[in-house]
Amino acid sequence: MNFSKMHGLGNDFMVIESITQDFVLPSLKIKELSNRNTGIGFDQLLLIEKSYNSKYDFHYRIFNSNGNEVEQCGNGARCVGLFLVLKGLTNKKQIHLSTNKKNIIINFISQDIIEVNMNEPDFQLSSIKSLEYLKNHNFSVKIINNNLLCSLVSIGNPHCVIQVESIKHAPVKNISKIIEKKSIFPCGINIGFMQILNKNHIKLRVYERNEGETQSCGSGACAAVAIGIAKNLLANNVKVELLGGNLSIKWKGFGKSLYMIGPANYIYEGFIYI
């Protein structure tokens, strides 16, 4: 099986396609491949398949390092776009991808700077049960002894965003381990810690479900900005400073699609016997 290793701001991926290759990857094998000591090592495995609908160019699937399939990965979407072009699977400047949750559109701004239409953020939170916990029009729930306000949104996958004074001193790991075990999040949740510098600039750290803290999370950046704009804390164009680098997030508000702009990087390619 041929594969490519890629990353988006340090969020790293094993990218494979089943269009010209025939293989089966059970979750246990994905978990083995993700091991950074005995396997290839990655945060997520990205699988590109033939489209099941003529409206879309390809179908895109995401698997966490534990082998579980998840709904969305913003950094991964940019890498998939670059992969498809580098491998000669398309020569389009705009690529339409279907996913298991939402469909996305990729636009090439330059060779390695890519814009992704992430669709409109979902504040209905259909993937989270116990909606009675949500505060009216605040998209939020109080957790951890009813003291910590956690704002909720889905970007195709569920996110909780916590505003902090400083991401440097935020107890990211300790708080996240408590939140991810809460019964109101039956599918788990990604947790972002947002420090607002001004209306056009935030800093962000993200603890991804089943993964822990990563260098970058594209959907997490989208979620933080969406929450900030919905609460009138941020402008419509925001620079998001993550541990691995910067993303630009644009959203004109309710009823509009949200756009993420950032780099995708190719590292190497190889093959493995499975």
| Same domain for 149 and 200 | yes
| Same domain for 200 and 92 | no
Q: Determine, yes or no, domain membership for 126.
A: no
| Same domain for 221 and 141 | yes
Cβ atoms within 10 Å, residue 174: 9
Number of domains in the chain: 2
Q: Determine, yes or no, domain membership for 194.
A: yes
How far CA 230 is from CA of 78, 148, 163, 177, 235, in Å, comes to 25, 19, 14, 26, 10
Range of the domain at 202: 131-256
Q: Determine, yes or no, domain membership for 165.
A: yes
Q: Considering only CA atoms, which of 168, 170, 163, 164 is closest in space to residue 231?
A: 163
Any bridge partners for residue 214, and if so which?
206
| Same domain for 53 and 11 | yes
Q: Determine, yes or no, domain membership for 247.
A: yes
| Same domain for 100 and 149 | no
Is residue 237 within 8 Å of residue 229, measured between CB atoms?
no
| Same domain for 96 and 169 | no
| Same domain for 146 and 70 | no
| Same domain for 175 and 238 | yes
| Same domain for 181 and 107 | no
Cα(37)–Cα(28) distance, rounded to whole angstroms? Answer: 16
| Same domain for 146 and 114 | no
Q: Determine, yes or no, domain membership for 123.
A: no
pLDDT tens-digit profile, the chain (274 residues): 999 999 999 999 999 999 999 999 999 999 999 999 999 999 999 999 999 899 999 999 999 999 999 888 999 999 999 999 999 999 999 999 999 878 999 999 998 899 999 999 988 765 454 444 444 456 777 787 777 888 889 898 889 999 999 999 999 999 999 888 887 787 789 999 999 999 999 999 999 988 899 999 999 999 999 999 998 999 999 999 999 999 999 999 989 999 999 999 999 999 999 8
Q: Determine, yes or no, domain membership for 125.
A: no
What residues have CB less than 8 Å from 13, skipping those under 6 apart? 5, 6, 7, 42, 43, 44, 45, 46, 75, 76, 79
Q: Active-site residue numbers?
A: 73, 217
CATH of the domain at 204: 3.10.310.10
| Same domain for 240 and 169 | yes
| Same domain for 100 and 159 | no
Helix axes 218-230, 74-86, angle to 10 degrees: 130
